[in-house]
Amino acid sequence: MNTGLKMRMLDKIKESLLEDISYKDISADAIIDEDRMARADLIAKEEGIVCGLEVFYQAFKILDEGAKFTCSHKDGDRVYKGDKIGIVECKAQAMLLAERTGLNFLQRMSGIASMTRYMVDALGDESVSLADTRKTAPGLRVFDKYSVEVGGGKNHRFNLSDMVMLKDNHIGVAGGIRQAVEKTRKKVSFSKKIEVEVESLDQVREALDVGCDIIMLDNMSIDQIRKAVDLIGGQALIEVSGNIGPDKIGDYRGLGIDIISCGALTHSVKALDISLKNMEII
């Protein structure tokens, strides 16, 4: 994880800790002296791709600068049920305060990375990029998109200023694809790519006529996609989107498309079961 990314995440980790610590942990405070140290094991309870280990560690380090995390895995590694991923050592009160926050991030991020890796493998086509969307949890986009990359996917737009994407509502308000693209070119820098969402072969032709960089085929059947690929003929990158889940993604192998964007990578993720166990005072 690079330094810039880590810095962007730290404030969010602190915010999440504050959700649990409005004043103090009355349970931990009642039974553990402030200066006592503790050790605990981070254990995988099911198979998957681990992701967010540095985020997990920072939750403890924010509360105890002397916290240590000895880890036998790195982000992107596959773990199996029963694997000891690492050992946390820090002040006992800090461990109990940070445990849930650290695990919440780690479990969600690992769930996203695991789903992404599963779908990349199920697609089985290295010529096609599996991309995320902006359908991320509010406030957690930096974590969600990092997790997709760890799982082997690609990041689509991080925010609305990254590139132009003209979807059905933009096109409807502008009066059509040509009008939308022409208005955009008058106001947006030449350095920004223009992507247009289309729902029919007639719209594919319109997008080609105005020279779009990327054409998104939205909710098209496999047969329609094949026809669109032939029609585009390499004149633009081809993105496919719309209700593409792990059970269907293999159907898109070998079609000649460039990108599959999939909201399911982040909007309905199942957390990977990971626990902090065997806590002991040292």
pTM of the model: 0.93
* Closest alpha carbon to 262 in 137, 62, 120: 120
Task: Please report the pLDDT score of residue 27 as a whole number.
Answer: 76
Is residue 215 within 8 Å of 238, Cβ to Cβ? yes
Q: What is the mean pLDDT of residues 230-242?
A: 97
Look at residue 1 and tell me whether its pLDDT is greater than 70. Answer: no
Phi/psi at 172 (5° precision)? -65, -45
Cite the active site residues: 100, 135, 167, 197, 218
AA letter at 128: V
The secondary structure of residue 251, as a DSSP letter, is: G
Average pLDDT, the chain: 94
pLDDT in tens, 113-135: 999 999 999 999 999 999 999 99
Domain at 3-120+270-281: CATH code: 3.90.1170.20
Query: What is the total residue count of the chain?
Result: 282
pLDDT in tens, 68-83: 999 999 999 999 999 9
Q: What is the mean pLDDT of residues 142-167?
A: 95
pLDDT in tens, 12-69: 999 999 998 866 677 777 777 778 999 999 999 999 999 999 999 999 999 999 999 9
Angstrom distances, CA of residue 42 to CA of 79, 158, 278: 12, 31, 9
Look at residue 228 and tell me whether its pLDDT is greater than 70. Answer: yes
Task: Please report the pLDDT score of residue 141 as a whole number.
Answer: 95
Angstrom distances, CA of residue 67 to CA of 75, 87, 106, 274, 281: 20, 11, 17, 20, 14
- The architecture CATH gives domain 122-267: Alpha-Beta Barrel (3.20)
Task: Please report the pLDDT score of residue 268 as a whole number.
Answer: 87
Distance CA(74)–CA(84), nearest Å, equals: 12
* % of the chain exceeding 90 in pLDDT: 86
Q: Which two tokens stand for residue 37?
A: 């140290």
AA letter at 74: K
Task: Please report the pLDDT score of residue 22 as a whole number.
Answer: 66
* Domain residue limits, the chain: 3-120+270-281, 122-267
